[in-house]
Homo-oligomer: A and B are copies of this chain.
Amino acid sequence: MDTHTLSIRRVGIDTWRESVAYLHRDCEAVRAAGFQALAKVQVRANGQTISAVLNVVDDERIVSACELGLSEDAFARLGIEEGHAAHVAPAEPPASLPALHRKIAGERLERDDLHAIIRDVAAARYSKIELAAFVVATNGWDLDRDEVLHLTEAMIEAGRRLDWQHAVRGGPVVDKHCIGGIPGNRTSMLVVPIVTAHGMLCPKTSSRAITSPAGTADTMEVLADVELPFERLQQIVRDTNGCLAWGGTADLSPADDILISVERPLAIDSPGQMVASILSKKIAAGSTHLVLDIPVGPTAKVRSMPAAQRLRKLFEYVADRLRLQLDVMITDGSQPIGRGIGPVLEARDVMQVLRGEPGAPSDLRDKSLRLAGRIIEFDPDVRGGDGWRIARDILESGRALAQMEALIDAQGRRSSPPQLGELTHELPAPGSGQVIGVDNLQLARMARLAGAPQVAGAGVDLLAKLGDRVEAGQTLYRLHAQFPADLHFARSLAEKDCGYRLG
């Protein structure tokens, strides 16, 4: 097809992940190809090719008729200096589009179809519209288990893959993961110190909060740096057996990152996409053994035991075929874990458990020991059933605390850690009775309105939990915020529905 030689110009417009090419309306390429704004074009320069969305420009100060303007993202992706010659042509439609259309029409896709789709997604050849269509067409249980397997495989192939075998010489590389949805559930920050103190390799990378008030990376960041260049991360793991870092720098499953950016605004969290997303990232990160936490409760992601079992079997089917040793634990998701919700409060809970303080939240301690125990039993030298006891000994002896301090120092201790938000509001119990319901979603919303996770010291501190007896007027929880407007919004929500049921 026709292409046109133009001179590259960097246009100082940040369009985030969407690469935009700016062409002047009088540019030969626009006139000859009958380009319209929002058409997909292919930009070639010096052997590199990227696709971009076209914006047509009428202002010579932005681009002239012989220039090809590139948004910041497009300029960075192409990686070629200003003034270099470039060609622009209509983008070929992604090769996997017929497969996408078949999925939209409800057909089952083959292995090659899913690999082709994920290759195109990872190469940013799909438009937002096509990404959303894929995500919706594979929603719910619309993917069968082989489709999920092939999707997972394809996501692994499309990204970088880490290998720790030189460090473990055939031994396990362990990890844990929770499917999410339970505020305060910061077990990774206890499990990693315990199992690495036991001598296992656990290079744990975590996400930041997407829709929740805190992710493990946000909470660990209260104590230490979490954005570590990959080479430093490797060194830390060599030195300490583990890490508690943000996973965003590792480029492990770029296709998954792109799909999540579309799933999030649509509030989609389907079983197939969840399994492929979690397992692809774990396998790409080089894990060989994984303990997976599926919390079940009326306001958790999974609401019933049959639903949890169905999800468990899907995880097991895919993990087995990809030779990942998987141990699924279905846990109690009926209320938040620990007391704090929000980065600073959750870090406080974790440190209380590690230090063995008398007031430390026992539910966080118990759950972390159970998870760590199961991981320790991946160790071939540990007798079945002994894991929990070993984990408890490591915690009670102070070895887990020492290991956590070593991890914090290795990653870079925060010199002035963020403080708890000083603006507070205490929510009184509306009557007397026993706590018979706690709403995970409502409390998470409150913590976010209070400012978490952007404001690390914002959040909710629970003073009563399920089964506790409370008197009218007694404080159920305390809101913490840094800004008056945030406190106001969180308080308004709490006063509309406090998230607690008394009976």
Contact = CB atoms under 8 A, between A and B. Distances in A.
Contact of A266 (B17, B18, B57, B129): B129
B14 A57 contact: yes
A4 to B, nearest CB: 14
Contacts of A72: 58
Interface residues of A, number: 49
A106 B140 contact: yes
A207 to B, nearest CB: 17
A253 B100 CA distance: 28
Contacts of A12: 57-59, 62
Nearest to A24: B12
A129 B127 contact: no
Interface string A61-88: 1100000000110000000000000000
Nearest to A17: B38
Given A12-B57, A266-B129, A105 B36 contact: no
A133 B72 CA distance: 28
A271 to B, nearest CB: 12
Contact of A55 (B13, B100, B262): B13
A48 to B, nearest CB: 23
A316 B22 CA distance: 47
Interface in A110-156: 127-133, 135-137, 139-140
A347 interface: no
Given A14-B25, A136-B137, A266 B105 contact: no
B38 A15 contact: yes
Contacts of A137: 136
A61 B11 CA distance: 10
Contacts of A265: 127, 129-130
Contacts of A17: 38
Contact of A136 (B22, B57, B136): B136
B55 A14 contact: yes
12 contacts: A12-B62, A13-B22, A13-B55, A13-B58, A14-B25, A15-B38, A16-B38, A97-B267, A104-B266, A106-B140, A128-B132, A133-B135
Given A14-B25, A17-B38, 11 more contacts: A13-B55, A13-B57, A13-B59, A34-B454, A55-B71, A61-B62, A127-B265, A129-B262, A133-B135, A133-B136, A136-B136
